[in-house]
Structure 1
Amino acid sequence: MHLYHEHATPPPHAGSPKHTRGRHSALRIGLGGPVGSGKTATVAALCRSLNEDLDLAVVTNDIYTREDAEFLIQEAVLPPERITAVETGACPHTAIRDDISANLEAIETLENSGGPLDLILVESGGDNLTATFSQGLVDAQIFVIDVAAGDDIPRKGGPGVTTADLLVINKIDLARYVGSDLEAMANDAKAQRGELPVMFTSLARTDGIDEVAQWARQQLHLRSRHTV
């Protein structure tokens, strides 16, 4: 079955290798999506895939806990000092879109203590289809949905689905168990997003995050071309 993938393949190991960059702000990629869609697992998989040759850090957002950050620390995806949490105390989108000061402070602390960094992943708390990041906080946005929530999610749209720089449809290994039609999801996503990229992931597979990691490398490559 053909699934819609619209993305360019960057050169191998696009972006700058570890320890060769000057001290300047890292690329920031935000990850949003509904509760249970697999955002934290996606962040963990990206860290494992990219950490070999890029300097990474992660900021997680939860309303009243540090649970996502603690999960990443327990999974040892990065050194503990490269992972920090923001307790938003309000709806998750507030801290990533409306009052981004706590996230900006967390990013500044990571860059001052652990820099120079290549990439900072900013994970939103679980939100609905309207979740978007402020352009003052991140350079690019990934929105994560999953097939178990229903194959009508792409058709419903919402700013998260329609405007994110990358839409990730996760847990495709569950599609046959929950009756989700991946081809229909691909077609609906294309109808909602036009030429914006859509990728299908199964983190149960060892190569399940590879395309998303390549996309992240492409963002670094494009940024480096514009900052040279």
Structure 2
Amino acid sequence: MSNRPIRIGIGGPVGAGKTSLIERLLPLMAADDLRVVVITNDLVTKEDAARLRDSGLIDPDRVVGVETGACPHTAIREDPSANLGAVERLSRLYDPDVVFVESGGDNLAATFSPDLVDYWIFLIDCAAGHDIPRKRGLGVLKADLVLVNKVDLAPFVSASIEVITQGMEEIRPNKAWLLSSLLDKEDVQEIYDQLRQQLPF
């Protein structure tokens, strides 16, 4: 392997959009000739890995699923050995520029070990409630980038983008965060531009 790849963690609750984010970023990275591998975490299945393998967006051999058991945050924080092993194997085989490590769906307290990732993104679903920022979960507080995702759904679930924005500005005054809909190409491009600004691809 020529250089150590950049390891990007993708965390957040179930259904926040973690796998969808990777699916949206893969074409943009391919356009920049970046070599990417993906590690997904699920409790007792490898559903997210299968979804990415079947997507046609990446060579299926470059995707590995890790079954984490009953405690998804353990595998990305307290004992990331299974994920580190997967990183090492894929890095040895494919010499990637970027390794995505997608957490299993977890709660707002999930964080990544610095031994596992260099940078991590935490997604929350605004449709789950506009009070999420005020709950001050560790993921929202400590992530390098927070995405308040599914803003397109806010009008349908009585979620106030204004309240969410106020909460995010209060708890992350000097840290990066974005409102996003992964169905919007401009939002996805903004996320990718943010990564390009903060990471040495």
When normalised by structure 1's length, the TM-score is 0.85
Aligned twin of 2:36 = 56
Count of residue correspondences? 200
For 1:142-162, what per-residue CA distance to the aligned partner results, in whole angstroms no more than 9, with x for missing partners? 000011101111111111011
Aligned twin of 2:127 = 148
Instruction: Structure 1: state its 5+ residue gaps.
Output: 1-21
Whole-Å Cα distance in 2 between the matches of residues 56 and 216 of structure 1? 14
Whole-Å Cα distance in 1 between the matches of residues 30 and 158 of structure 2? 35
Whole-Å Cα distance in 2 between the matches of residues 78 and 217 of structure 1? 20
1:83 aligns with 2:53: no
Tell me which amino acid in the other structure corresponds to 2:49: A
Aligned twin of 1:13 = none
Whole-Å Cα distance in 2 between the matches of residues 217 and 84 of structure 1? 25
1:39 aligns with 2:35: no
Aligned twin of 2:136 = 157
Aligned twin of 2:172 = 193
1:183 aligns with 2:154: no
Tell me which amino acid in the other structure corresponds to 2:119: A
Whole-Å Cα distance in 2 between the matches of residues 27 and 93 of structure 1? 21
> Which residue of the other structure, out of 100, 119, 122, is the alignment partner of 2:98?
119
Highest relative contact order (Cα 8 Å, sep 6+), 1 or 2?
Answer: 1
Whole-Å Cα distance in 2 between the matches of residues 60 and 72 of structure 1? 9
Aligned twin of 2:8 = 29
Residue 37 of structure 1 and its aligned partner are, at CA, apart by 0.7
Whole-Å Cα distance in 1 between the matches of residues 28 and 157 of structure 2? 29
Instruction: Structure 2: state its 5+ residue gaps.
Output: none
Aligned twin of 2:148 = 169
For 1:36-78, what per-residue CA distance to the aligned partner results, in whole angstroms no more than 9, with x for missing partners? 1111111111112212221111110011111001111111221
For 1:166-221, what per-residue CA distance to the aligned partner results, in whole angstroms no more than 9, with x for missing partners? 01011111111111111211110111112101111111223331111112222333
Give the secondary structure class of the aligned counterpart of 2:27. helix
Aligned twin of 1:66 = 46
Tell me which amino acid in the other structure corresponds to 1:80: P
Give the secondary structure class of the aligned counterpart of 1:92. coil
Give the secondary structure class of the aligned counterpart of 1:97. coil
When normalised by structure 2's length, the TM-score is 0.95
Seq. identity, %: 47
Whole-Å Cα distance in 2 between the matches of residues 193 and 207 of structure 1? 23
Aligned twin of 1:3 = none
Between 207-216 and 131-140, report the one with greater CA deviation: 207-216
Between 106-115 and 205-214, report the one with greater CA deviation: 205-214
